[in-house]
Amino acid sequence: MNAPSQPLVTVATAVYNGEDFLPECAESVFCQTYSNWRYYIVDNCSTDRTPEIGREIASRDPRVHFERREDFVDVNESYSRAFAAVDPDASYVKVVDADDWLYPECLERMVALAESEPTVGLVSAYRLNEARGPTMVDLVNLPYTQSTTDGRDIIARSLANPVSLLGPPSGLLWRADLVRARQPFFDAKFRHADDDANFWTLMQSRYGLVHQVLTYSRGHGSSETSLSDRLGAYAPERLRMIIRYGPQVLSKDAYQDLLRVRIADYLAFQRQQFIWWHLKRHVRPAWREEVRARREFHRQEVELMAEEAPDDPQVQRMVRIARVLLR
């Protein structure tokens, strides 16, 4: 396709202190075989050389725009700023994190799949991933003979799977009208707001997978990931995803069975934490502060579960027990 006939893609990078990797990330956008894109780099009050690098990158191509924010926000709000930059005439939105990069055919292949089936609202592809041990190819979730499926099927499979089938934002392309329809696109009530946004998108549309490695995820790990791990955020948020989406994508029996298993797992985790906390609560103050932060996070998560499933006896019983363990 020539550029005038190509749908416009908004590419966005939300970055904080990304001087080590931002140049390589941006270069991967410049090297795309697909040419009708606009690239927005949104700096979240970085304290390193990110602003200088971002401005230099923007000076190289009129399709690149650099925006410096002077107030620091959390990662979800930073993503929301990037999504807010979506061009009004854009057909698609592509995120690439500052420490990741895209293979040259990424936009071309993803847009081609979306254009071939207009009901597809979210497109993924295989990923080269260094995040967990040796480099591996992952996000392979459809047979090679199948490129699309019902979005609700992917949600149902994801809820039952301990590992995300969709991966982080860098591996995905969204249809822009769906992004515009939900603002902010990332729900601030979730730390893993990308999972919730992806599930919401798939409730409205089909899912597409390009059977090719199109993105690269660096393996150094982020401070946000480390904080989520320290808080133990994944377990309660996965349970909340089941509560929010399970009744809509699973049979009644399958939903109740999955909910029962995840509640049992979560309460076992909280009982273990309760014993651990009370045995070791006299250790150094810095450690105590971290544990208090963890417990406060889980208290908030439990109250959100109580609000989101007020009529579910399983959830309400779990909430009562968890409140006791988290006192």
207, pLDDT greater than 90: yes
pLDDT band at 134 (very low <50, low <70, confident <90, very high): low
* Bridge partners, 174 (sequence order): 93, 122
Cβ(316)–Cβ(323) under 8 Å?
Answer: no
**Domains of the chain in sequence order:** 3-221 (3.90.550.10), 232-325 (no CATH)
User: What's the N-to-C CA distance of the chain in angstroms?
Assistant: 61
Q: What is the pLDDT of residues 209-240, one digit of tens each?
A: 999 999 999 865 555 556 667 777 888 999 99
Give the pair of three-digit tokens for residue 43.
């700096």
pLDDT band at 81 (very low <50, low <70, confident <90, very high): confident
Give the pair of three-digit tokens for residue 277.
């906390």
Give the pair of three-digit tokens for residue 285.
């103050």
Rounded to whole angstroms, how far apart are CA atoms 154 and 35?
Answer: 30
Q: What is the pLDDT of residues 88-101, one digit of tens each?
A: 999 999 999 999 99
Q: What is the pLDDT of residues 277-318, one digit of tens each?
A: 766 666 566 667 777 888 899 999 999 999 999 999 999 999
Q: Is the pTM of this model over 0.85?
A: yes
> 73-77, 122-126, 156-160, 224-228: which range is least confident on average?
224-228
For the chain, the farthest-separated pair of C-alpha atoms sits apart, in whole angstroms, at: 67
Closest CA to 101 of 179, 210, 18: 18
Query: Are β-strands 120-129 and 64-69 bridged in parallel, bridged antiparallel, or unpaired?
Result: unpaired
Is residue 139 classed exposed, middle or buried when 0-12, 13-18 and 19+ CB atoms within 10 A define those classes?
A: buried
Percent of the chain topping pLDDT 70: 90
pLDDT band at 76 (very low <50, low <70, confident <90, very high): confident
What pLDDT does 1 receive? 46
